[in-house]
Chain A
Amino acid sequence: MKEHTTRPEWLKPELLFRVFGTAFFVYLFFGFMLIPCLNTLTQIFTTKGADGRIDPFAVIRFFFAGSMPKFIWNSLKLAICLVITVNVVGISIVLLTEYFDIKGAKILRLGYMTTLIYSGVALVTGYLFLYDSNGILTSWLAQKFPQVDHNWFSGFKAVLFTMTFACTSNHMLFLRNAIRTIDYNTVEAARNLGAKPFKVLMKVVFPTLLPTLFSLTVMTFITGLCAMSAPTLLGYNSINPEIVRLAGSSVADEAFPQARAALLSVILALFTILLLTVLSSYEHKGHYLSVSKTKAKLVKQKIHNPVANVFAHIYAYVLFIIYATPVVMIILFAFQNYPAIRSKTLSLDQFTLINFFGTQDYEFMTNRGKLKIRPNSISGVFSNADTVGGIRLSFVLSAIAAALACVIVVVAVNYIFKNKSKKRSTILEYSLLFPWLLPTILICYSYRTFFNADNIWYVGNVNLYLRENVRFLIIVAYTVVKLPFALRMIKAAFYAIDEELEDAARNLGASPLVSFLRIKLPIILPSVLAVFALNFNSLFTEYDMSATFHSSYGKTYAMVMQSMTMEEGRDGYNVNASGRRCASTVFIMVVSGLILYLVYGVGARDLGERLQAKERRKHRREKWVTRLRRN
């Protein structure tokens, strides 16, 4: 629409916005996505041999001659096994809580959902607390069966076990949602046509879940391939920990470590791209769409065979115990003092808040029988300088990055929707989805190596890996990595906006900016806040990126927690690291739980529900006031 204004063409806000917007997105895409990653790629082919000459295939030769395929095979083995175990457990927990009539399903669901409030390094440390050489279960087993190997919980089986239960969160979110939207009339129709319950499950229910299951399978495979915290903490030689190790190594220690790290990152990226292409082509094929005009709510199916019913109940509760025990133990031991944690005994007498607040002197007897005191060496999460520092840093970095990702994506998606069929909007969308194709480790590794120089002109010739600058680098990495997720979610929110709303606002005299701020933004705000909260949640305890950037100036909360699992010693300053670790995990659970409640509980309410809640509060207040007056 041509506007009748006297302002020069080049000063029009739309044009200025387009110029600055284009410049920003070009800078972001080339400067912080493409160029650093291409630099990583070139590292592989610019390795210098012993004679100082560039040997483009040195790393490739080394790859085939050395032990590098072992890391890839280990990652592949983990990914393949995870796909099987996660799907078996994930499908089981969803069917047991949503499809079959199992007694106590609500409590079971709570147990199965615990992985939503603690994951990554927090979850692994939780499992370690139970199963490692000094863990509760291991100690108990050792008492009963002295021949038990104290280090049984390590390596591949420990990683597989931990990740199997950690990775079912997506099943609980997405598969559960898919099964709840099944039209029950289709189940009834199949039963009416003579199909037995198992046949109905296999022929009617499962086919509608296949698209979700396929996506979950691909996501699980990628998670397995890119696993970081579990292999690092449980000791398993997979690709990601090796990349981090090589990135921190020097030429003096081993042959071209950086180029080898780059090669592993690129191999990981190739696998990811391949899998996402498969997923994308599958999604394009189309799915079974429900044609029901009026869907009937799914009714839980009774298991009529008594043996199968008993077996299902036992299976459900065994899984519940596996899920819930680490959480319960961590919560209980978070309120126990150091000796109780050390001896793995629970007692009300040993109840303390020292793992959270305050400091205490530590008294111990030396080998020579001398009593020594370490002042303030027992400290709580919020009294320990290191831990508080980690929390503060993670809080600030995560909040900034989560907010940045939301702002960038909201602006971009608004533009994309306004220019739907134009090429430039497609280019913008794909450039924001680009980080999705690359493993997080490749992006972070690329940043670490590329920006660890003071000759990158477009960042002002500043070494971004140096000292405090690394925090800026972490923020950029966090933001870039979270862009694809934010884009998918916020784009979905934009789809929900009735296009006529903006037309109506324009018709009532609002400018494009006013109609965006006053009409569109309030509608998408709950989704934007949800994306912010979810991104913040995952970044707050994020481990993979912090480990890659590994720097004393960028010691995030997850890194502090990792050090807690390693530093505990009888006579050291971190004597109650286990207690603090438990308290940290409890703190993370509280933060995550609160965020999930705000997002899915309060945030999901529309204006009508909010006004109703306000009305109820008003009534309650009036009731109290009346009662008080009467008294």
Chain B
Amino acid sequence: MIELENIVVKFGDFVALHNINVKVKEGEFFTFLGPSGCGKTTTLRTITGFVEPVEGTVKVKGVDITNMPIEKRNIGIVFQSYALFPSMTVRNNIAFGLKIQKLSKHEINQRVEAIAKKVDLDEELLDRAVSQLSGGQQQRVAIARALVTEPSIICMDEPLSNLDAKLRVQLRNELKKMQRDFGITTIYVTHDQEEALTLSDRIAVFNKGNIEQIGTPNEIYNRSASAFVCNFIGDINHLDKQIVKDIGLDTNKHHHIRLERLRINTEQNDDNELQIIGIVQSREYYGLYIKYTIQSGDSTLKAVEKNDGINLLDVGEQVTIGIHKKDIMSYDINDNLEEVDA
């Protein structure tokens, strides 16, 4: 459906995208994930035509659209700020694209009302100013405006970032449902790992203008292709040399383990599991689960346990930690583990 081949984008001397290659399938929910300034929005803007690549091609359904004018690409966009026209009512915002297409008044009204219904916008809101709507309602207007012209692709640039946490989760689910209902190919940009993992069919993880990994959420999370991806997606423990030695792994590599893979106070599974003793240093209560910081010799490890409301560990309590070889993700020593500021 969408193919980006060897895309290079430069802003002056600064290379924003280095040789990007992505293939997005028809009807897929595809997410560009990465920290601020990694190039995900630039890639999206290259697809929509706001950024012109210095090298490479953008194809949609096999047609090269690299040099096609923005307005002729038939790609809908939901902007981070929603970009709703403040001087127009909700109705006129949604109808804008249809008016440009010079459709009849009757057809415009019909389509506006139909799309408003589909995105769950009350009809009475249509004649209000966009400034009179809540954040969630504004987002629905932005989606309706992008979908009403029946584009072949819809691009969303961090559309949930302006909303509060609870609404974000609610709209995330609705967004996924809407995408399934419309069956439209969707490119979604976000820096929020949780959002990417819950929404996407596939994810491309960006770092410094490169794609580090493309894969399903499960592949990205459990088989991270690089130390960066491993660190960026969820919390990790960086295993120190002593543990690595004790468990019998290559000391010339970085080794990481996810927090939920540490087994606390359990029987040893097999010979591939290392059991170490530690003291609980702190306890963070998250409701669904509890996060413990455990000191074992010179190593500080973090672990999470499901909150069953009974087996809470106290600070200062001694525990055994099980680390299984199969849960460890190892990376070349040259693959620097970077601090991620998402």
Q: Which residues of A line the B interface, CB within 8 A?
A: 1-4, 498, 500-501, 503-511, 514, 518-519, 522-523, 525, 606-608, 610-612
Contacts and interface: CB of A to CB of B under 8 A. Distances in A.
Nearest to B80: A500
A427 to B, nearest CB: 20
Given A518-B96, A611-B127, 6 more contacts: A504-B79, A506-B70, A507-B73, A507-B76, A509-B97, A608-B130
A510 B129 CA distance: 21
A511 B101 CA distance: 12
A503 B83 contact: yes
A510 B95 CA distance: 12
Contacts of B96: 505, 508, 510, 518
B89 interface: yes
A504 to B, nearest CB: 4
B71 A508 contact: yes
A610 B127 CA distance: 12
Nearest to A511: B71
A508 B132 CA distance: 23
Contact of B77 (A4, A504, A607, A612): A504
Contacts of B138: none
Contact of B86 (A3, A505, A607): A607
A4 B149 contact: no
Given A607-B89, A608-B131, A608-B132, A506 B83 contact: no
Contacts of B80: 500
A459 to B, nearest CB: 40
A519 B85 CA distance: 7
B50 A503 contact: yes
B87 A509 contact: no
Contacts of A519: 85, 87
A240 to B, nearest CB: 43
Contacts of B132: 608, 611-612
Nearest to A2: B67
B81 A4 contact: no
Contact of A508 (B87, B131, B145): B145
B68 A607 contact: no
B129 A607 contact: yes
A501 B83 contact: yes
A576 B50 CA distance: 68
Contact of A1 (B70, B87, B101, B131): B70
A3 B101 CA distance: 19
B207 interface: no
Contacts of B72: 509
Interface string B47-80: 0111010000000000000011111110111011
B50 A501 contact: no
Contacts of B83: 498, 500-501, 503-504
Contacts of B149: 508-509
A503 B145 CA distance: 13
5 contacts: A504-B77, A523-B87, A606-B86, A607-B87, A608-B130
B89 A611 contact: yes
A410 to B, nearest CB: 15
B105 interface: no
Contacts of B50: 503, 506
A306 B238 CA distance: 68
A514 B70 CA distance: 14
Contacts of A509: 71-72, 97, 100-101, 149
A549 B76 CA distance: 58
Given A1-B52, A509-B97, A500 B81 contact: yes
Contacts of A610: 129
Nearest to A610: B129
Nearest to B155: A507
Nearest to B102: A509
Nearest to A607: B129
A514 B96 CA distance: 11
A510 B71 contact: yes
B128 interface: yes
B77 A503 contact: yes
Nearest to A500: B83
A510 B72 CA distance: 10
B88 interface: yes
B48 A507 contact: yes
B79 A510 contact: no
A508 B102 CA distance: 12
Instruction: List 3 tightest A-B contacts by C-beta distance, closest first.
Output: A522-B87, A508-B97, A608-B129
B90 to A, nearest CB: 11
Given A500-B81, A507-B77, A508-B97, A607 B67 contact: no
B155 to A, nearest CB: 9
Given A503-B83, A523-B86, A607-B87, A510 B77 contact: no
Given A500-B81, A503-B79, A508 B68 contact: no
Nearest to A501: B83
Contacts of B71: 506-511
Interface in B180-212: none
B293 to A, nearest CB: 29
Residue among A504, A508, A606 with the highest chain B CB neighbour number at 10 A: A508
Interface in B124-173: 127-132, 145, 149
Contacts of A514: 100
A606 B131 contact: yes
A34 B233 CA distance: 61
Contacts of B129: 606-608, 610-611
Which of B83, B127, B145: most chain A CB closer than 10 A?
A: B83
Nearest to B97: A508
Contacts of B69: 1, 3-4
B184 to A, nearest CB: 15
B135 to A, nearest CB: 15
A5 to B, nearest CB: 9
A457 to B, nearest CB: 43
Contacts of A523: 86-87
A189 B169 CA distance: 37
A3 B89 CA distance: 32
Among A504, A510, A606, the most chain B Cβ lie within 10 Å of the Cβ of: A504
Contact of A498 (B81, B87, B88): B81
Contacts of A500: 79-81, 83
A501 B131 contact: no
B108 to A, nearest CB: 13
Most buried by B among A1, A507, A610: A507
Most chain A C-beta atoms within 10 Å of own C-beta, residue among B67, B71, B100: B71
B1 to A, nearest CB: 18
Nearest to B75: A507
Given A4-B69, A606-B86, A607-B87, A508 B48 contact: no
Nearest to B77: A507
Contacts of A505: 85, 96
Most buried by B among A509, A518, A608, A610: A509
Given A3-B69, A4-B68, A607 B131 contact: yes
A320 B153 CA distance: 65
A2 B49 CA distance: 11
A91 B128 CA distance: 43
Nearest to B76: A507
A498 B69 CA distance: 21
A196 to B, nearest CB: 41
Contacts of B67: 1-2, 4
A506 B85 CA distance: 13
A506 B76 CA distance: 11
A505 B131 CA distance: 18
A504 B129 CA distance: 18
Most chain B beta carbons < 10 A, residue from A3, A505, A607: A607
Contacts of B52: 1
Contacts of B89: 607, 611
Contacts of B75: 507
Contacts of B76: 507
A408 B70 CA distance: 29
A612 B96 CA distance: 23
A525 B86 CA distance: 12
